[in-house]
Amino acid sequence: MKTWLNIILNWVTENHRSIAITINLLKEDLQNDIVKTEDEETTEPANPPILASLKTENKVVIWSECSTPRLPRAKVNKKYVDIFEAKDLVVTCHAPRRKEYVDAKDVIQKKGGKVFLCVHPWYSPWKELTVEESAELVREYASAYDGVVIDLEGVYLKKIDDTIKSFAGISNLWVAPKMDSKYLTGYYDKIKDWQVNYLWWNYALTLKQWNAYFDKYKFPATSKHNLLLSFYKYLKFVPLEEISNIIKSSPLRIGSFNPKTKDKINLNFLKEYLEIEK
pLDDT in tens, 101-135: 999 999 999 999 999 999 999 999 999 999 999 99
| pLDDT at residue 41, as a whole number | 38
Inter-helix orientation angle 2-14/16-38, to 10°: 70
pLDDT at 213: 87
CATH topology of domain 59-274: TIM Barrel (3.20.20)
What's the pLDDT score for residue 1?
54
CB atoms within 10 A of CB 210: 21
Residue 33: the pLDDT is 47
Average pLDDT across the chain, whole number: 85
65: nearest Cα among 172, 176, 144? 176
Mark the ranges of the chain whose per-residue pLDDT is less than 70: 1-52
Residue 42: what pLDDT? 36
What pLDDT does 36 receive? 43
Q: What is the structure's pLDDT at 13?
A: 55
pTM: 0.82
Q: What is the pLDDT of residue 120?
A: 96
Sorted by where each begins, the domain ranges of the chain are 59-274
Report the pLDDT value the prediction gives residue 14, as an integer from 0 to 100. Answer: 53
Task: Identify the pLDDT of residue 38.
Answer: 39
